[in-house]
Amino acid sequence: MIAVAFTSINKTQLERHKDENGYQMAVKLCERADKVASFGGDVVGDICGILSGAGGVSLVVNMNISDVDLSLLVTCLVSSVIAGITIFCKAIMKTYALQNCEQIAIVTGAYLEVSVFNKLRKKFSGRKKKK
């Protein structure tokens, strides 16, 4: 959702949110939309896919099904349901992100402005590099 929002927005759309928290970070992210899309769409998306698949396997393993054929059937069924829900939710979220890209950008920027990573970045960016 964040990846789609930042690839579909431009900086001029953010101008009306100039006084809101998260504006500065949203502009920085908008300038780096390609990197935001790669990280948000690929890295985070892959991690979520792996975790949902592992959760499905965990469910099937904890069922303790002794019949091999039934176990295979349940595994396929659980995998199909997880894949279907994932694809359906991604499609809905992409549509939502296109329609509400400004709000998503500002909220994401606000969260990142108060995050630990931003505070660490500010702390270490002031130090001079050793030669």
User: pLDDT of 19-66, one tens digit each?
Assistant: 888 899 899 999 998 998 888 888 888 888 888 888 888 888 888 888
Q: Is residue 52 domain-resident?
A: yes
- Tell me the mean pLDDT in the region 98-126: 86
User: Between 7 and 10, where is the model more confident?
Assistant: 7
- pLDDT interval class at 105 (50, 70, 90): very high
Which residues span the domain enclosing 102?
A: 2-116
**Residue-averaged pLDDT of the chain:** 86
- Tell me the mean pLDDT in the region 66-77: 89
Q: Is residue 128 domain-resident?
A: no
Q: Is residue 84 domain-resident?
A: yes
User: b/e for 69-104, b at 16 or more Cβ within 10 A?
Assistant: eeeeeebeebeeebeeeeeeebeeeeeebeeebbeb
The reported pLDDT for the residue numbered 129 is 56
Helix locations, the chain, DSSP H: 2-8, 11-14, 23-31, 33-37, 44-62, 68-99, 101-113, 116-125
pTM of the predicted model as reported, rounded to 2 decimal places: 0.73
Domain count, the chain: 1
